[in-house]
Amino acid sequence: MSKPKIVLSRCFISPVRYNGGIVNDDFIEKLKSYINYIDYCPEVDIGLGIPRARIIIKIDGEQKKLIQPETGRDLTDIMINYVNKVLNELKDIDGFILKSKSPSCGVTSAKLYKNNAIIGKTDGFFADTIKKFFPYLPVEDEGRLRDEEIRKHFLIRIFAFSEFRALNSNPSLRGLVEFHSKYKYLLMTYSQKNLKELGKIVADRKMNLEDKLLQYKNLFYQAFIRKPSIKRHVNTLLHLIGHVSKKLTTKERTHLINLIEKYSKGLVEIRVILELLRSLSFRFENEYILIQKYLDPYPDELNV
């Protein structure tokens, strides 16, 4: 499995917070061994010191401004110039993990002020611009990643995008065909429409490899935008079982179907069914199921 390249807020790495602190987060600590990362601290990078007076996002007419109340400095333009410069230079990134609640890095969690009152939550300046530059990449903060479903969705995306980058750096038609086969059931879960379109791209004999990869990339990244529902997982599981069901005894088949029904009601974890499916695939030597990324979208160790 290739290593995703992730942008991290620097305060997960070193003590750069406004108060000179560092952020310790168990999941990010664990994740570091499985990714390559680049870190940024927008506030330090624009020249604010450590420690520094706090900054806030203030609404001024229609516009959001980045203000340092203690000094009265308006940091809006300097921050906008900085984030545009950094993001223009960023390449080959699979996702972002930023620090929650920060007026620079927070993802929908920075306080928004009007006059001296908090009127809601918003994206920090860095997070806001990242979302505009990279609409198909996952952008999360450590707070949101504590939710198991959001975390899984994030991991699935960063590892899928990283594998696609690996294919792109060593492109071949055979590689693309194999890639598409491995991702078939994961894509089916996320977007049946995109799965169908992607299949057409792979099979198109008139299209050259370069065009195929370009078109495939766009649809592949788009496919993963929305977290799939339980109903979609159930559909995928039933399709997967179809590959082995003829070889199962009636009792085994009924047991599997019952497990899927329990999963749909939230009584059984999907992992239980996937492991059973994996064991059956080993028993029946079904390589096609065993290569599916749906069973193995990211390293098991990250299931915390």
126/164 with CB nearer ligand SF4 = 126
Single out the residue of 82, 95, 104, 233 in contact with ligand SF4 (rule: CB under 6 A).
104
Stretch that binds ligand SF4, among 96-104, 131-139, 149-157, 263-271 (CB under 6 A): 96-104
Q: How many chain residues are in contact with ligand SF4, going by CB under 6 A?
A: 13
Residue 197: other Cβ atoms inside 10 A? 18
The percent helix, strand, coil of the chain (3-state, each to 5) is 55, 15, 35
Give the C-alpha separation, 104 to 80, whole Å: 10
Site string for ligand SF4, 17-56 (x = CB under 6 A): x-----------------------xxxx------------
Give me the sign of the Cα torsion angle 144, 146, 152, 154.
positive
How would you classify the pairing of strands 110-114 and 36-40?
unpaired
When computed from its CA atoms, the radius of gyration of the chain, rounded to whole angstroms, is 23
Tell me the three state secondary structure of residue 67: strand
Question: In the block, which residue shows the tokens 């109340």?
Answer: 69
Give the C-alpha separation, 50 to 20, whole Å: 6
6/186 with CB nearer ligand SF4 = 6
Give the C-alpha separation, 301 to 42, whole Å: 31
137/188 with CB nearer ligand SF4 = 137
Single out the residue of 5, 6, 7, 10 in contact with ligand SF4 (rule: CB under 6 A).
10
Single out the residue of 7, 66, 93, 105 in contact with ligand SF4 (rule: CB under 6 A).
105
Q: How many helices (H) and strands (E) does the chain have?
A: 13, 9
Tell me: does residue 109 bind ligand SF4 (CB under 6 A): no
Closest CA to 12 of 98, 82, 96: 98
Tell me: does residue 153 bind ligand SF4 (CB under 6 A): no
Single out the residue of 58, 64, 99, 180 in contact with ligand SF4 (rule: CB under 6 A).
99
Tell me: does residue 188 bind ligand SF4 (CB under 6 A): no
9/286 with CB nearer ligand SF4 = 9
Give me the sign of the Cα torsion angle 166, 169, 170, 171.
positive
CB of 121 to ligand SF4, least distance (A): 15
Tell me: does residue 102 bind ligand SF4 (CB under 6 A): yes
75/198 with CB nearer ligand SF4 = 75
Residues of this chain that interact with ligand SF4 (CB under 6 A) are 9-11, 16-17, 41-44, 99, 102, 104-105
